[in-house]
Amino acid sequence: MLKSYEFPNDFWWGTASSAAQMEGNDAMDGKGKSIWDHWYEKEPQRFHNGIGPQRTSQFYQHYKSDVLLMKELGHTSFRFSISWSRLFPEGTGRVNPKAVDFYNDVIDELIKAGIEPFVNLYHFDMPFLLQEKGGWENREVVSEFSRYARTCFEYFGNRVSKWFTQNEPIVPVEAGYLYDMHYPNQIDFKKAVQVGYHSILASALAINEFRKIGEIGKIGIILNVTPSYARSQHPADQKASRIADLLFNRSFLDASVKGVFPSELVQLLKDLGYLPKVRKEDLIIIQENTVDILGVNYYQPRRVKAKENLPHPQAPFMPEHLFDHYEMPGRRINPYRGWEIYEKGIYDILINLRDHYHNIECFVSENGMGVENEERFLNEEGVIEDNYRIEFIKGHLKWVNQALTEGCNVKGYHLWTFMDNWSWLNAYKNRYGFVSVNLEKQSERTVKKSGWWFKRVIKENGFME
């Protein structure tokens, strides 16, 4: 018998993207360089097929028709980010009027199309001139961020009522300061902790600016609250998993939602000798400026086991000195990205938020599947038959639906992403969109089978299976 998965009438259906990944810099139009522009100039070979941020999907040129396509596909909301270095070419000081026009127009077009804009302020894209001053390592840059945030609220707050300070702030910490995947390519746990702490402070300061301006809507943060699963019930595996959870989830989650750092995390960093530099007054700001709403990005779980071998005595300290990653036999993998597919993870996250984070209002802000060489699935009508993506989304939506029936305060689902976009180091290797983009003829966008399927899901507020 078919089961029906129904969602509330006002459920937010849509997609998410980010400035650096979709705007394109072919027309810089006064934009300053971000760390991505700089790094690409310096080391283009680090990017898949040498494709850099210049050639991303040209939303900057085509946003009007892109928004119309979103409308055609039934979107009720769309999350994008403002590029700090487009708005403030030097990261501070002078505002670029063309950027103001562009974002004003994007917002207006979305509203005209009946699509609610969800605006994020920071998605891995530090202005290069501020990175030269140390980026998030530097307290001054934290203050610059709150100034930038305030400017955005002032310019766009009259029409945007869902704001987000940052997307996955743990990623610049890991990728930029531990694992050499983002600029500034450092491997330095001490700096990583400071950068993480300053990002949290920057978010709280931006929220503070938002509250000072008055009632212009809700403000939140978007976190990849990857659940940690221990290999076994053995206390050593359990401890390893708890440490991973503290470092990668609860650091940002507790600070953003509850305004405090878990005492176990503080003790751990203290024991390791890696407590960041903290000013007392900052802790009050963090405590008083928690989020109204939480975006949950979920792609894969984190599986953890106790350490099996001692680290090399000369190796720089890494989180992996405290636990090992666990490759669970039989796990399902998306081979193109190497990420495990585990749909129930989204349910576990939502239940955790219900039970331990006062059931804060939340939504699935990113979920998706990147697949290589999708042209092989083209049918005779020229449509990519991405049945695997439909299955992937359904699998997750079923668990979101289950969480709803159990009282979770989850308000929407956004796929990553609307149209194929530039995936950082992977450039255009894996495609995530409901809409494919012809990289040669950029203006050519073609809706995939999943895009039409999702349109029906939105129309019917659910699906049967």
Active site residues: 168, 366
430 binds ligand BGP (CB under 6 A): yes
Cβ(427)–Cβ(51) below 8 Å: yes
In the complex with ligand BGP, the residue whose CB is nearer, 150 or 431, is 431
| Site size for ligand BGP (CB under 6 A) | 14
Angle at 143 between CA 140 and CA 148, to 5 degrees: 125
CB of 125 to ligand BGP, least distance (A): 10
Q: How far are the Cα atoms of 78, 356, 369, 384, 385 from residue 388, in angstroms, in the given order?
A: 23, 33, 9, 11, 9
Two structure tokens written together for 298: 């979920």
Round to whole Å and give the CA distance between 462 and 344. 18
The C-alpha atoms of residue 283 and residue 261 are separated, in whole angstroms, by: 9
Determine, following the binding rule CB under 6 A, whether residue 165 of this chain makes contact with ligand BGP: no
Q: What is the DSSP letter of 57?
A: -
CB nearer to ligand BGP: pick between 37 and 366: 366
- Tokens 């990944």 belong to residue: 21
Tokens 């790094």, located at residue: 39
Per rule CB under 6 A, is residue 174 in the interface with ligand BGP?
Answer: no
CB-nearest residue to ligand BGP? 423
Chain position carrying tokens 């941020």: 53
The Cα 95–Cα 447 span in angstroms is: 36
Does 337 participate in binding ligand BGP (rule CB under 6 A)? Answer: yes
Pairing of strands 430-431, 12-16: unpaired
Are the C-beta atoms of residues 193 and 178 closer than 8 Å to each other?
no
Q: How far is the CB of 313 from ligand BGP (least distance, A)?
A: 33
Q: Is 186 helix (H, G, I), strand (E, B) or coil?
A: coil
Nearest residue (CB) to ligand BGP, 46 versus 147: 46
Should residue 424 be labelled a site residue for ligand BGP when binding is judged by CB under 6 A?
A: yes
Choice between 157 and 370, CB closer to ligand BGP: 370
Q: Token pair 């890991």 is at which residue?
A: 174
Our finding on whether 228 is near ligand BGP (CB under 6 A) is no
Pick the piece of the chain touching ligand BGP (CB under 6 A) from 68-76, 233-241, 393-401, 424-432.
424-432
Given the complex with ligand BGP, which of 56 and 92 has the nearer CB atom?
A: 56
Quick one: 92 or 430, whose CB is closer to ligand BGP? 430
- Residue 168 CA to residue 177 CA, distance in Å, equals 15
Q: How far apart, in whole angstroms, are the C-alpha atoms of residue 71 and residue 75?
A: 6
* Contact residue for ligand BGP among 23, 66, 125, 168 (CB under 6 A): 168
Site stretch for ligand BGP (CB under 6 A), options 132-140, 197-205, 286-294, 419-427: 419-427
| Smallest gap from residue 168 Cβ to ligand BGP (A) | 5
Query: Cα separations (Å) of 295 from 49, 131, 366, 387?
Result: 32, 26, 8, 26
Q: Which stretch binds ligand BGP (CB under 6 A): 45-53, 210-218, 375-383, 416-424?
A: 416-424
In the complex with ligand BGP, the residue whose CB is nearer, 166 or 401, is 166
**Using the rule CB under 6 A, is 423 a contact of ligand BGP?**
yes
Residue 366 binds ligand BGP (CB under 6 A):
yes
Main-chain phi, psi angles of 298, to 5 degrees: -140, 120
Asked if 227 and 248 count as a contact pair (C-beta separation under 8 A), the reply is no
18 interacts with ligand BGP by CB under 6 A: yes
Interaction between residue 298 and ligand BGP (CB under 6 A): no
Give yes or no for residue 416 binding ligand BGP (CB under 6 A): yes
Assess 177 for contact with ligand BGP (CB under 6 A): no
Q: Is 59 in the site for ligand BGP (CB under 6 A)?
A: no
Pick from 91, 301, 370, 433: which binds ligand BGP (CB under 6 A)? Answer: 370
Which of 143, 426, 442, 461 is the binder for ligand BGP (CB under 6 A)?
426
Q: Is the peptide bond before 172 cis (omega within 30 degrees of 0)?
A: no
Residue 81 makes contact with ligand BGP by CB under 6 A: no
125 sits near ligand BGP (criterion: CB under 6 A): no
> What minimum distance in Å lies between the beta carbon of 289 and ligand BGP?
23
In the complex, minimum distance from the CB of residue 423 to ligand BGP, in angstroms, rounded to a whole number: 3
262 vs 247: CA distance, rounded Å:
10
Report in angstroms how near the CB of residue 33 gets to ligand BGP at its nearest: 19
Q: Name the CA radius of gyration of the chain, rounded.
A: 21
Kindly tell me which of 11 and 298 has the beta carbon lying closer to ligand BGP. Answer: 298
Q: Which is nearer to ligand BGP, 245 or 366 (CB)?
A: 366
Nearest distance from residue 413's CB to ligand BGP, in Å?
Answer: 15
Q: Which residues contact ligand BGP by CB under 6 A?
A: 18, 21, 167-168, 224, 297, 337, 366, 370, 416, 423-424, 426, 430
